[in-house]
Structure 1
Amino acid sequence: MNETLYQSLIHPMAPEPISWWPPAPGWWALLTLLVTVSFLLPWAVMRLKKFNIKRRGTNQALKDISADLSDQQWLSEINSLLKRLLLRRGEVAPTRLFGEQWLNYLCQGYPRPQRSHLAPLAADLYRQAPNLSDDQRRALLRELRRWLSYNHV
């Protein structure tokens, strides 16, 4: 009797092999992520290169200002460079500022500005014969590099 019952049972079959298509939703998400990254990565690298070229150009422009110029000419060159960079960035209003207003603009929205280092751009620029020491020039250039870097000019 047991044998007859055993014969009448439906024996289990092996499942069908798992198909590779269509992939699970996780694979679709991974594919979408990879395609997105493959398009965005070259764009991001290109933007970074442009930013670095612009930054190097700005720093080079600061270095190109001759140290042999008189203090008034040197300050005037730096001032002109800053205002040209701001115009290139599309900021017109700050280029019309001078004196204390210009110094206030340079110090606003900037973490821990060294106002005393930037002061020659406001006051000494308009003096008949400003007298800057080498240390003051170096401090001004160092502070301007910080300002340019922070403001992405």
Structure 2
Amino acid sequence: MNKVFDSTWGNPVLRSFIEPEFPEQISLWPQTPGWWLLLALIVVLIIRTVWRIRQRYLANRYRREALAELSEIKLRLKENSKEAVRDIAPLLKATAVAAAGREAMSNLQGLAYAQALSELAPDEECLPIEQLEYLAYAPLVEEELELIDLEAVIADVERWIIRHRVQDSHA
């Protein structure tokens, strides 16, 4: 076989060159106890945060259900089912009971009920309780219904459902 390069070809210094060995790979796992403690603390904080988010989600289930029911009422009203207005006041009452507790809300009526609702949502304007009671119990006369701004009443109820706060003693 014919050699392409003889032994005198190239740089003579490179002939004695020895390739260095690569060092052992550095582990990415912590080596000292302080880093393990920090890692454990981070894991505990992540678990706690996930748990609190889940608890908040579960605690607001009644709110999501009330908003879904209110959307259904709006849909029924668009389909010209005037009987749907009768469900607004009981929905608000059920939501208030879920937020403040049965003992605090179930026996309230009129002005006391309006005041209790205002205490749960202090930044919101008072809900039209008289109109809600009329819609729930009075005969549904077309001329009387035209005097009530249903869209405004529903918007007020929806805003209250979204923005009210749960009482601390109930939470």
2:104 counterpart of 1:93? yes
Larger Rg belongs to: 2
Q: Which amino acid is 1:33 matched to? A: L
Shift of 1:62: 0.8
Contact map agreement 1:59 1:145 (CA 8 A) in 2: yes
Structure 1 residues 76-96: Cα deviation after superposition (integer angstroms, max 9, x where no partner): 311211222334453333222
Q: Which amino acid is 1:34 matched to? A: I
Contact map agreement 2:127 2:157 (CA 8 A) in 1: no
Residue 12 of structure 1 aligns with which residue? none
Shift of 1:60: 0.8
1:19-98 to structure 2, matched below 5 A, reads 22-24=32-34, 27-51=35-59, 53-65=61-73, 66-67=76-77, 68-70=80-82, 73-89=83-99, 90-98=101-109
SS in structure 1 of the partner of residue 149 of structure 2: helix
Percent identity, aligned pairs only, is 23
Runs of 5+ consecutive residues of structure 1 not aligned to the other structure: 1-19
Q: CA RMSD in A?
A: 3.4
Q: Which amino acid is 1:79 matched to? A: A
Q: TM-score, normalised by structure 1?
A: 0.61
What is the alpha-carbon distance in structure 2 between the residues aligned to residue 30 and residue 134 of structure 1? 65
Contact map agreement 1:76 1:125 (CA 8 A) in 2: yes
Contact map agreement 1:110 1:147 (CA 8 A) in 2: yes
2:128 counterpart of 1:103? no
Shift of 1:36: 0.7
What is the alpha-carbon distance in structure 1 between the residues aligned to residue 84 and residue 115 of structure 2? 21
Contact map agreement 2:121 2:165 (CA 8 A) in 1: no
Structure 2 vs 1, CA of residues 109 and 85 (structure 1 numbering), >3 Å: closer, same or farther? closer
Shift of 1:61: 0.7
Structure 2 vs 1, CA of residues 44 and 140 (structure 1 numbering), >3 Å: closer, same or farther? same
Q: TM-score, normalised by structure 2?
A: 0.56
What is the alpha-carbon distance in structure 2 between the residues aligned to residue 87 and residue 80 of structure 1? 10
Structure 1 residues 80-115: Cα deviation after superposition (integer angstroms, max 9, x where no partner): 112223344533332222222222222234234333
Residue 138 of structure 1 aligns with which residue? 151
Residue 120 of structure 1 aligns with which residue? 131
Q: Give 1:147's match in structure 2, choosing from 148, 152, 160.
A: 160
Aligned length: 130
What is the alpha-carbon distance in structure 1 between the residues aligned to residue 88 and residue 120 of structure 2? 20
Residue 19 of structure 2 aligns with which residue? none
